[in-house]
A and B are shown apart, each in its own frame.
Chain A
């Protein structure tokens, strides 16, 4: 099932995963949102399922913010 991709959706998803009600586009997962490596991996897994995309390990290393995530998925979907 295709989900609509939007910045809001991504931020909501990240918030749910981390237990945070307010997430900003440029919040860094680790430094600002308190994520640990497992959390980032789980965010990625969730995103993959929701949007039916695949993200490589090497790409995960370069994801720091919800904005980064959004951009990557957008690219993937085109």
Chain B
């Protein structure tokens, strides 16, 4: 049963400036995400996609921030196939447990200038 859905769309250009700051990166992304995205040819696109996924997740669980859920508690990875998947920790994990969520569905897409992500929470 679907109990939450979230979607987010952002302009890659907007985030491409921010990611030059190491300080900023560590506030929003985890070490592993940074390692995954940095250094690749389309790093801004990769960061943007993950960013959209985090925002989408917040929308999916409701009033996330108030309950102490922060961006770095949501990690987005890629399977070998390229398909993304989500891992949560900390308060984000507690929230999901409280809601009884057993599966997080995620999909990310890009155009040259935008990135979007959809998150569906299933219990």
User: Do A and B interact directly, with beta carbons closer than 8 Å?
Assistant: no
